Chains A and B, each alone.
Chain A
Amino acid sequence: MTAHQFGVALAKRCEKIKTLLLAVALGALLVVFAPADTAPGPVKMPPPKLIPDTIPMGAFYNGARLRIEGVAPAGSGVVIVIEGSERDEFFNRKGRVGPIWLTVDRIHVKHAPSVYLRFSSTAVTTLLGGSEVEEHQLDEAAIMSRIRMLCRCKCSLTDRSQQMGTHDTVPDPAYSRLLYADFLRLKHQEGTYRAQAGIVTLSQSASATRYAVDFEWPRKIPPGRYRVSVCACREHKVIAQSTATLQLTEVGFPAYVAQLAFARPWIYGIGAVLVAVLAGFLTDLLTNGLRRKRKARIQPGSPQPEAAPAAQQEPVEETHESEPAHRG
């Protein structure tokens, strides 16, 4: 390589480095002078304390009293959301066909949380702006936006002529809104979706806000892991966030039965039948024995209950052609 060629290559390399340095400087300037909207999201705050953090479900489980407490930045309001894992659900939907109500559609709901409980210090609309509520999934409308619904009927609100098909299709927007509303109504009726404002108590101090909520954990919620998210809100924004996990675990006899049912299902099935047959025959023996005892007490001269067969104890009336059939 000649001295001239070396000089040209060096100049090119220097040019590249200069461009790179310029890009880095521009990036740094953008970060420093970036508008507040693109500022980093909410900061982490200490995770909430769940009392208890594991709810044992024994044989005589009767729900539980749950307390969630923690510390949030000073001057903030608090929203607490408890969410179950997502699952697919299937529903029949009734609709009016002429004067009658029939199953007109089969709905497949995807990504629906099994449980959605929300507690807040005041109404969520006063604490947060609409975009924040949606971003942090803090109301049912936001949850609905991530749920996907498929239907079998190709009908719409205006056209009901189509019959139920065999494959899932995406409903049209107007029909879709109706389906979401019906789904929510059902979930509220079940008690698995719930929103309560003003239930979270706050105690403000100069350096922090202490929050706490006490509530009855619904009895009908099945075992599993439930995500507890706490959002601290100020000036219509979520400024800090934290999460914890609530565990509902079967213990003792229910845990043993569930384990057997899933690990050895056929043995469990045969056992269930045998237990049922045994229970049936035992009840029969018991009630029959009691009845015979009572009879013997009423008629002291009658034969001992053990000695005579049941059929003799209970004389069977002969059915005659001339009178109504009355066996027994």
Chain B
Amino acid sequence: MRILLPIAGISVHIGAVVGIGAIIGLLSGLLGIGGGFLMTPILMMVGVPPTVAAASGTNAIVATSSSGVAAHFRLHNVDHKMGAILLCGGLTGSWLGVHLLRLLRHLGSADLVITFTYIVMLGLVGGYILRDSLRKMRSGLIVRARHGGLPRRTWISTLPLQMEFPHSGVRHSVFVPFALCFLVGILTAILGVAGGFVLVPMMVYMLRMPAHVAVGTSLFQALFTCAGATVMQAGDNQIVDVVLALLVAVGSTLGAQIGARLSRHLRAEQLMILLGILALGVMADMAADLVLPPSVSFSQIASLNLQPIQQLSVGFACSFGRVCMG
């Protein structure tokens, strides 16, 4: 059965779009990643124009995230305090990243720098996660670090504004999560995709948060950034297709529920192994794109004219920075 997308103006198969949503939702619920890196290209494959695919994807992530957050909230996997600080840090970092990207584009070699940075970063993050999780799984060691956060008696532990995060069972200076998410925000705005990929491992390995709380908190902050981005995309560019978003959302919310439940049956290191494999898979795909000749050398780009604040919101966590800068 087919349905007409009112803003995209094309007819699509309902099952195909719901199926796309289900796969993305499953990953979202399981690993706490936004799914934007998959959603936009897959929706484009079914014929949705790139701008509409990106903006409607943001709206669908709102639904996925709210379903995922609700499930994780019930399981006590959301650290609101940490989420709020991460959100502030990420938005500030994205704002700076957007300007850095402009500078890079002005210098002329932005694409090369972006692609290589992305491949190297994904390779390092994915490789480290995979190696570490496999080692811990084999040796039967605990994956979750001792409560107390980053190693004590370092200059980090002497930073001001120390705060307890009882939900995550860690104690940090406010500046630590802020700075980490600030860096992720810069990377996300420059690279276009990476929000959940980088954020969840950082929360687990650097902030020493339990993996499940990291996933829930990541979704929590993605919900707010994507909601803001949706309103701005609809208000300024009129490219949010609510029918497309709802179809994807139906699939993705169900997928997110399954993902959240499934995550309870997996050990933390198993979750991390999955995330590592996914990161390495995306890296391999990007590397293949670099060396294999494309079937068509032209690729349509979005002719959006977004303001920095929109680029900031869209770029962060929703993984559409590249579209915005087009």
Contacts and interface: CB of A to CB of B under 8 A. Distances in A.
Given A276-B60, A283-B254, A319-B210, A90 B301 contact: yes
B269 interface: yes
B294 A94 contact: yes
A149 B210 CA distance: 54
Interface residues of A, number: 79
A286 to B, nearest CB: 9
A219 interface: yes
A61 B2 contact: yes
Contacts of A63: 11
Interface string B303-322: 10000000000000000000
Contact of A324 (B66, B67, B267, B300): B267
B211 interface: yes
Given A257-B6, A276-B62, A61 B75 contact: no
A328 B212 contact: yes
B231 interface: yes
Nearest to B211: A325
A58 B240 CA distance: 19
A169 interface: no
B300 A273 contact: no
A119 to B, nearest CB: 22
Contacts, number: 240
B59 A276 contact: yes
A243 B281 CA distance: 53
A102 B267 CA distance: 40
B285 interface: no
Given A261-B238, A273-B227, A101 B290 contact: yes
B6 A272 contact: no
A58 B5 CA distance: 10
A219 B220 CA distance: 38
A250 B9 contact: yes
A228 interface: no
A189 interface: yes
B2 A62 contact: yes
A280 B249 contact: yes
Nearest to A322: B142
A57 interface: yes
Interface residues of B, number: 86
B15 interface: no
Interface string A263-288: 00110111111011101110111011
A95 B234 contact: no
A321 B142 contact: yes
B257 A275 contact: no
Interface string B226-247: 0100111111101010110110
A280 B254 contact: no
B143 interface: yes
A89 B9 contact: no
A90 B68 CA distance: 36
A20 interface: no
Nearest to B291: A100
B242 A257 contact: yes
A104 B8 CA distance: 29
Given A265-B238, A277-B62, A279-B63, 16 more contacts: A90-B300, A97-B112, A101-B290, A102-B112, A163-B108, A183-B298, A186-B298, A222-B10, A250-B9, A258-B7, A261-B240, A269-B232, A276-B230, A288-B74, A314-B74, A326-B267
8 contacts: A61-B11, A219-B2, A265-B238, A273-B59, A276-B66, A279-B246, A323-B142, A324-B144
The 9 A-B residue pairs with the shortest CB-CB distance, nearest first, are A269-B234, A280-B66, A222-B9, A328-B264, A325-B144, A280-B67, A283-B253, A254-B6, A284-B70
